[in-house]
Amino acid sequence: MLFEDLLSSESVRLRPDIRPVNLNIAIIEDNPQYRHSLETLFTHTQGFTLAQSFGSAEAALDTVEKNERWGNDSNWNLVLMDLELPGMNGIEATRRLKKNFPEVSVVVLTVFEEPTTILEAISAGADGYLLKRTTAPELLSQLRTIVSGGAPLTAIVARKVLELLRINDKGLNRNSSKSAPSKLDLTEREQEVLQCLVRGLSYKQCADHLGVSLDTIRTHIRAVYKKLQVHSVAEAVARAIREKLV
């Protein structure tokens, strides 16, 4: 939980070695105490702005959809999404947000660490998956990676995803033919970009590694998303590993 380490956010805010970001955060969390802690954290941390905060998915979706109809910009860069919510759960809310507002990053922040729940959230379009026991400095550090194209994952979550993918992979191997898996018409360069994402490189690191511009990387990633029919780095990586695309 963040409650014990909120004061440490001040030291994070003042550190000169942290890359500045500009993220407008919307929070969807039904626990009032925890929601207030998050509001305090983002209000007092440089580079983060608390855009809005909600106790239910319905309230958040109603607000952003009304703004869209009225031609107003909700100005959300990132939504922190709890999963266990009254009414609509966080997975369904993530699916709706990513369908209607794909440019908004959604990072799950929850107590649930079951592999099936994690993969369900990623399949719904979540751009990251963090546990609520993550400390405030680590939460901020993970969220900063969104700016450079990263996919925030608590370490134990990443391990569980890989374990589940390995299990699924063994099952696929037993039932599959000897032919090589389809590359889904990915070009050689798109495969190289996807491999960078699987290795956990940010967009900028991919660009440096391949010797191309950041805009070129973004163009390739959009093409990869379209061909893989995914909406986030985490979902692309999961499919790439599961289907041996790289």
At residue 16 the predicted structure's pLDDT band, cuts being 50, 70 and 90, is very low
The number of folded domains in the chain is 2
Q: Is the pLDDT of residue 27 over 90?
A: yes
> Is residue 113 located within the same domain as residue 230?
no
Range of the domain at 236: 179-242
- Same domain, residue pair 137 and 223: no
Asked if residue 52 belongs to a domain, the reply is: yes
Q: What average pLDDT does the structure give for the chain?
A: 81
Q: Could you tell me if 83 and 195 lie in one domain?
A: no
Residue 127 scores a pLDDT above 50: yes
Does residue 167 lie in a domain region? Answer: no
202-229 pLDDT per residue, tens = 788 888 899 999 889 989 998 998 898 8
> In this structure, is residue 49 part of a structural domain?
yes
Asked whether 34 and 134 are in contact (CB, 8 A), the reply is no
Query: Is 179's pLDDT higher than 60?
Result: no
Q: Is residue 168 part of a domain?
A: no
Mean pLDDT, range 159-178, rounded to an integer: 56
Residue 199 lies in a domain: yes
- Can you give the pLDDT at residue 236? 81
What average pLDDT does this structure show over 85-98? 94
Percent of the chain scoring above 70 in pLDDT = 80
Please state the rounded mean pLDDT for residues 22-32.
95
For residues 181 and 21, the model is more confident at 21
pLDDT at 87: 94
To which H or E segment does residue 25 belong? strand 23-28
Q: Say which CATH number the domain at 233 has.
A: 1.10.10.10
Looking at the structure, do residues 151 and 204 belong to the same domain, yes or no?
no
Kindly state whether residues 112 and 200 are assigned to the same domain.
no
**More confident of the two residues 52 and 73:** 52
pTM: predicted TM-score of the whole model, two decimal places: 0.67
- Which residue has 């860069």 as its token pair? 77
Kindly state whether residue 233 falls inside one of the protein's structural domains: yes
Q: Is the same domain home to 15 and 126? A: yes
Collect all residues with Cβ–Cβ distance below 8 Å to 181 and sequence separation of at least 6.
243, 244, 245
Residue 199 has pLDDT above 80, yes or no: no
Identify the top-confidence range among 41-50, 66-75, 180-189: 41-50
- The pLDDT, as a whole number, for residue 231 is 77
Same domain, 226 and 131: no
The answer to whether 30 touches 85, Cβ cutoff 8 Å, is: yes
Residue 171 pLDDT more than 50? no
Statement to judge: residues 126 and 218 lie in one domain: no
235, two tokens: 């979902």
Tell me the backbone φ, ψ of residue 94, rounded to 5 degrees: -60, -45
CATH code of residue 130 = 3.40.50.2300
Query: In this structure, is residue 57 part of a structural domain?
Result: yes
Q: Do 235 and 138 share a domain, yes or no?
A: no
The answer to whether residues 111 and 228 belong to one domain is no
Query: Are 151 and 184 in a shared domain?
Result: no
| pLDDT of amino acid 152 | 83
Q: Are residues 100 and 199 in the same domain?
A: no
Give, for 195, the enclosing helix (H) or strand (E).
helix 188-198
Q: How confident is the model at residue 11 (pLDDT cuts 50, 70, 90)?
A: very low
Within-domain flag for 97: yes
Q: Token digits for 130?
A: 């963090």
**pLDDT interval class at 168 (50, 70, 90):** low
pLDDT given for residue 20 in this prediction = 57
